[in-house]
Amino acid sequence: MTNQSHRFLIGIDVGGTFTDAVVTSAVDGEIYDAFKLPSTPQDPSIAVIEAFHRIHRTYPLNESMVCHGTTIGTNILIQHRGAQTALLATKGFTEVIELRRQNRPSLYDLSVKISPPLVGADMRFAVNERCNARGAVLEALSGVDELVAQVIQSGAQAVTIALLHSYANDTHEKILAKALRQACPNLFISVSSDVCPEIKEYERTSTAVVNAYIGPGVQSYIDKIALEARRLGLPALMIVKSNGGLTSTDNASRYPVHLIESGPAAGMISTLAHARESLRDNVIAFDMGGTTAKVGVIQGGHAKVVDEFLADQLVDGANVGGSPIRSAVLDIVEIGAGGGSIAWIDDGGVLKVGPESAGAAPGPACYGLGGQRPTVTDAHAVIGTLSQDAFKDSGVAFSRELAVKAIETHIAQPMGWSLARAAHAIIEIAVANMTEMVRISTVRRGLDPREFSIFASGGAGPLHACAIGVQSGAKEVVIPPLPGMFSALGATMGEIRHDLSQTLLVPVAQIEPQSLTKVCQALGERARSLMSHEPVDRRTVKSERSADLRFVGQLFELNIGLGPDSDALPSNDHIEAKFRSAYQQTFGIDLPNLKVQLVNVRLTAMAVLSEPRPTQLAQGVALLDVPPHRRQNYLSADGSQTPLPVYRLTDCRGAQLSGPALIEHAGSTVWIDSAQPITIHANGSMQIALHAVPPSKQTAPAASSLL
Please write the tens of the pLDDT for every residue from 456-466.
988 889 999 99
Q: Label residues 410-424 b or e (16+ Cβ within 10 Å = b).
A: bbbeebebebbbbbb
Q: How large is the average pLDDT for residues 263-269?
A: 88
What pLDDT, on the 0 to 100 scale, is given for residue 696?
43
Give residue-wise pLDDT tens across range 476-499. 999 988 888 888 999 998 899 999
CA-based max dimension of the chain? 82
Query: For residue 647, what are the β-bridge partners?
Result: 663
Best-predicted range by mean pLDDT (33-42, 387-396, 415-424): 415-424
Query: For residue 564, what are the β-bridge partners?
Result: 544
pLDDT at 2 over 50: no
Confidence grade of residue 614 (pLDDT, cut at 50, 70, 90) = low
- Tell me which residue of 396, 367, 390, 376 sits closest to 467, measured CA to CA: 376
pLDDT at 619 over 60: no
What pLDDT, on the 0 to 100 scale, is given for residue 312?
77
pLDDT at 254 over 60: yes
* In the chain, % of residues over pLDDT 70: 93
What pLDDT, on the 0 to 100 scale, is given for residue 15?
79
Give residue-wise pLDDT tens across range 90-142. 999 999 999 988 777 777 777 778 888 999 999 999 999 999 999 999 999 99
Measuring CA to CA, how many Å separate 123 from each of 152, 324, 640? 11, 20, 62
Amino acid found at 488 = A
Q: How large is the average pLDDT for residues 192-210?
A: 96
Confidence grade of residue 144 (pLDDT, cut at 50, 70, 90) = very high
pTM: 0.86
Confidence grade of residue 664 (pLDDT, cut at 50, 70, 90) = confident
pLDDT at 684 over 50: yes
Give residue-wise pLDDT tens across range 530-576. 999 998 887 789 999 999 999 999 989 999 999 999 899 999 999 99
Best-predicted range by mean pLDDT (69-73, 318-322, 523-527): 523-527
Confidence grade of residue 691 (pLDDT, cut at 50, 70, 90) = low
What pLDDT, on the 0 to 100 scale, is given for residue 314?
65
Taking a C-beta distance cutoff of 8 angstroms, is the pair 127, 90 a contact? yes
Give residue-wise pLDDT tens across range 385-403. 988 776 666 566 788 999 9
What pLDDT, on the 0 to 100 scale, is given for residue 31?
86
pLDDT at 240 over 50: yes
More confident call, 417 vs 358: 417
Give residue-wise pLDDT tens across range 343-377. 999 989 999 998 888 876 788 999 888 889 999 99
Taking a C-beta distance cutoff of 8 angstroms, is the pair 601, 560 a contact? no
Q: For the chain, give the mean pLDDT.
A: 88
Measuring CA to CA, how many Å separate 439 from each of 285, 335, 581? 13, 13, 28
Q: How large is the average pLDDT for residues 272-293?
A: 88
What pLDDT, on the 0 to 100 scale, is given for residue 703?
36
Q: What is the dihedral of CA 156, 159, 163, 169, to 10 degrees?
A: 150
Amino acid found at 487 = S
Taking a C-beta distance cutoff of 8 angstroms, is the pair 697, 672 a contact? no
Question: Distance between CA atoms of 139 and 27, rounded to whole angstroms?
Answer: 58
